[in-house]
Structure 1
Amino acid sequence: MVVHYEFLDQAYGLPAPEGYRIDVKGDQIVMSPQRPAHWHVIRELEFQVRTQDSSVQRESDVRMRIPGWEYPPAPDFAVYPAGAALDAANTLFVAEVVSDSSREADYATKRRIYASAGVPEYLVVDPESGMWTLFTDPVDDSYTKIQDGSRGDSVQIAGFTINL
């Protein structure tokens, strides 16, 4: 099933109570609480980036600007150069943490959105399976390089060494 960008735009524009997030699953809008494992991964990513370079901007669940999108996705975690506008074109990397309700969106829909917006590196972390995937080198609406790993592996992403 193909999710239309207009539908995503509307879904991501809906307000969500604190501690909840809105995602699109197929043709449904899903609002779900974030689980502790989800927050743990985000906090760990933020800590590792901050300890390696405290000058970069680190954002969580903050919408990035993408041309043509009124309500673009709000990545679980995004890193920007110090002082840069929160535009997709300025990101160093974006990470999404998979949950049951976001699996399709994180691995497929958001991958296409981020690639077409020029996000250079996109990391998907699945705390349930202990696996992660790094997508790099965007061309049009896809990434040309894919690297997979598992819990305990380190990955080089945007000049940072991240131990997942």
Structure 2
Amino acid sequence: MTAVDDRLITDVREIFENLEVPEGFKAELLRGDIVMMAGLGLVHNMIVESVQDQIPRDRWRRLQVQDLDIPDELSEPVPDLVVIERDAVPGAGRLVPSGVVAMVVEVVSKNSVDRDYGDKRSIYAAGKVPAYLIIDPMAEQCLLLTEPTGQGEEADYLLERTSKFGMPLSLDILGIKLDTSEFGTLPPVKRHRRP
């Protein structure tokens, strides 16, 4: 006979905070679900490095895999890159409040497509993150989302701008034009349902 523990989990945040994540993996809390991903590939890491290197360090903090605190959401996403004004960084701690974030960046993988284009889009919009940049090496394009509106799962961005790799992308919020010409690509996978 198999024993089943049918006790209700009442504090998923506590479980998440005490979770022992194996080396080489990262874990996120997305709307009450704990999502674990294996290590990231070379193309992914080189794209993140390229974006980070183009954001002026004297004005911006460019933090890789930083946990965010989204008010009124049971979510603690871990974007590939978080951009914060140098003077706006809060004190110590694991979580950075989404209210101080200027932009988040996610680089899409075949396993993160729906989360990056769907769940995280509404989570970051609900957290009022002013700019969300999705870089998709399979579709060879960037999608810049701005002007967050709404709450919860209904939150979204009012403006979106798509740019193919090789074309510069204006990131007005940071005062730069992002050079995408060196972004690596990955073999296309079955086209996802997202833009």
Q: TM-score range by the shorter chain?
A: 0.7 to 0.9
How far does the alpha carbon of each residue in 1:110-138 deviate from its partner, in whole angstroms, 9 at most, with x for none? 00000010000100001122111011111
Match of 1:146 among 148, 151, 160: 160
Match of 1:101 in 2: 111
Distance across 1 between alignment mates of 2:15 and 2:168: 34
Alignment of 1:30-45 (within 5 A): 30-45=36-51
Distance across 1 between alignment mates of 2:144 and 2:128: 15
From the CA coordinates, give the structure whose radius of gyration is larger.
2
Q: Is the CA contact (8 Å cut-off) linking 1:23 and 1:102 kept in structure 2? A: no
The RMSD of aligned alpha carbons is 2.8
Match of 2:170 in 1: 156
Residue 69 of structure 1, CA deviation? 4.8
Match of 2:25 among 11, 20, 23: 20
Distance across 2 between alignment mates of 1:63 and 1:73: 6
Q: Secondary structure at the match of 1:39?
A: helix
Number of residues paired by the alignment? 156
How far does the alpha carbon of each residue in 1:83-115 deviate from its partner, in whole angstroms, 9 at most, with x for none? 322321111111100011111100000000000
Alignment of 1:32-71 (within 5 A): 32-49=38-55, 52-69=56-73
Identity among equivalent positions (%) equals 26
Distance across 2 between alignment mates of 1:143 and 1:163: 23
Match of 1:136 among 127, 133, 146: 146
Larger mean CA deviation between 89-98 and 62-71 belongs to 62-71
Distance across 2 between alignment mates of 1:107 and 1:147: 14
Distance across 1 between alignment mates of 2:137 and 2:15: 25
1:40 to 1:19, Cα distance in 2 relative to 1, 3 A: farther
Distance across 2 between alignment mates of 1:113 and 1:142: 8
Q: Secondary structure at the match of 1:119?
A: coil
Distance across 1 between alignment mates of 2:149 and 2:128: 8
Give the TM-score, by structure 1 length: 0.82
1:54 to 1:16, Cα distance in 2 relative to 1, 3 A: farther
Give the TM-score, by structure 2 length: 0.70
Gap runs ≥5 in structure 1: 1-5
The amino acid that maps onto 1:108 is G
